[in-house]
Structure 1
């Protein structure tokens, strides 16, 4: 693929996603949406529309292509490795009190909304189905590791693994993937009205979720960013996706699978990081700064990385 063609195609994938984020930021500054709307809409996306999107994308997909054990195993394994690498760096470079927030911010990505939107834009139904399975699988890793690292460096909150297991078992995104796979394998065809109604809900997920992300961003928080936040953001957007792509190439992963790996690993920090930081009475301002920096900067890092991979004909 030529340089100009690769660059143009890259922008066609990334710009629509981030324009929706900036739309949310603009609507919040105009006062057309507020914190109450964002909270309610985010809950709607998490509990209803996103599960509908994942469920429909899986049951309509070719599971022979979507369920790729090697790809899933590599993605989960490398995510775990990136957690321990970031943790080791935090021990070496940063104060003890900030190590939990740094580690979570450096390895946890917003795959459920931003990653899935990018995968769908790049690879259509294939991106939705493969991305949905990967997102459902990695949610468990994100939550278990985040609870562990935040509780380890928290002096006020103890780890309650029983509650963690219950929350994972009731997670709507995980449940949608768990229920979708047997339906897809059984060949059951749902009624037309069910598919149409589900399609209406699913169609709301990505634009509404991206607008909510934009509405939570704060330019002020970006200006107040600390050295630790910048370091965590560098890990999240540069080192984690770079080493992940190199490892995937060494493992023989190329084409669309490699593209999805890059898009998922290079996603900005997850909004859930802020929620968990508050729950563990950690430095939630640092968590917010990491989310803001990675969201803004990922527009450039994702576009550049995808452009290079296309130029080299690897995806």
Structure 2
């Protein structure tokens, strides 16, 4: 289990390095608020949709197509969303409910989850993890768009404005465009895929630098109560409930371990990008990302150790 802890730390350490780089660059005045606004917009409108498109296109459908596993993961993700939202309605101030809910259910499956699944289970982990990530990307973005639209002043209330915000969401468009290419295995020119990969590779470092540039002690203090509550929901309570449900449904071995890893991933950097793009409380979103990434090493390894001790993985 020490090897898993080292792997988790090796994956999360570069995330923190880029966050702190963003803090340093802002302090040095190499980047400023207009740069962060422009870079966040580029990530939201361009690089991240491209990254999601490539992730779906490259998913190995033949190896990883397991209807029971995919169905449970989808239903558990939707249930987690509604649990987090219900708790937010009860305990979180109105203006922060959308950010709280998104931070509590939206995991970094495409980066941290996929890397851990692959390192633990090789080609099988890569195939299953890729398909799970591809499936949940659309779910994450639709549900996040809905809850953020409801609690964001710049989005008018009502079914039509919310539906419009979903249809126009670049992240959702990127996934939907990729589906026919993945399903019918439509080949794309190699030069186009390589160029798209270059463009998509900017996503995570640029998003993390923007998050770091937004962070400050004052913003962390202002967001601390809600951010800690959302982080505990994301890293402790929802993974516990979802993994228990998976165990009750009979999942064991690699499938149960991969499900747990995906449920216990820290909050995705895309939650900050989306929050900033629509004028929501992006400082709270940044704080949740930092806190969940910080405690991911402990929570993920504790969960895997418990599952291994029970003889279930």
The Cα RMSD (Å) is: 3.2
Structure 2 length-normalised TM = 0.79
Shift of 1:144: 1.7
State the alpha-carbon separation in 1 of the partners of residues 155 and 46 from structure 2: 30
State the alpha-carbon separation in 2 of the partners of residues 134 and 178 from structure 1: 12
Aligned with 2:169 (options 165, 168, 171): 171
1:134 aligns to what? Answer: 136
Q: Which runs of 5+ in 2 are unaligned?
A: 119-125
State the alpha-carbon separation in 2 of the partners of residues 201 and 129 from structure 1: 22
Shift of 1:11: 0.7
How do 1:235-274 residues align onto structure 2 when only pairs under 5 Å count? 235-251=233-249, 252=251, 253-263=255-265, 270-271=271-272, 274=275
How do 1:34-53 residues align onto structure 2 when only pairs under 5 Å count? 34-53=32-51
Q: Number of aligned pairs?
A: 297
1:56 aligns to what? Answer: 54
The verdict on how the C-alpha distance between 1:224 and 1:11 changes in structure 2, with shifts beyond 3 A counting, is same
Shift of 1:62: 0.8
Aligned with 2:213 (options 205, 212, 215): 215
State the alpha-carbon separation in 2 of the partners of residues 196 and 90 from structure 1: 42
**SS of 1:189's equivalent?**
coil
The verdict on how the C-alpha distance between 1:229 and 1:123 changes in structure 2, with shifts beyond 3 A counting, is closer
State the alpha-carbon separation in 1 of the partners of residues 105 and 36 from structure 2: 17
Q: Which runs of 5+ in 1 are unaligned?
A: none
The 8 Å contact of residues 268 and 298 in structure 1, kept in 2 or not, is answered as: no
Aligned with 1:306 (options 300, 308, 311): 300
More displaced stretch, 36-45 vs 303-312: 303-312
The 8 Å contact of residues 109 and 270 in structure 1, kept in 2 or not, is answered as: no
2:115 is equivalent to residue 121 of structure 1: yes
Give CA deviations for 1:18-47 in whole Å, capped at 9, x if unaligned: 222222122112211111111111111111
2:232 aligns to what? Answer: 234
1:105 aligns to what? Answer: 100
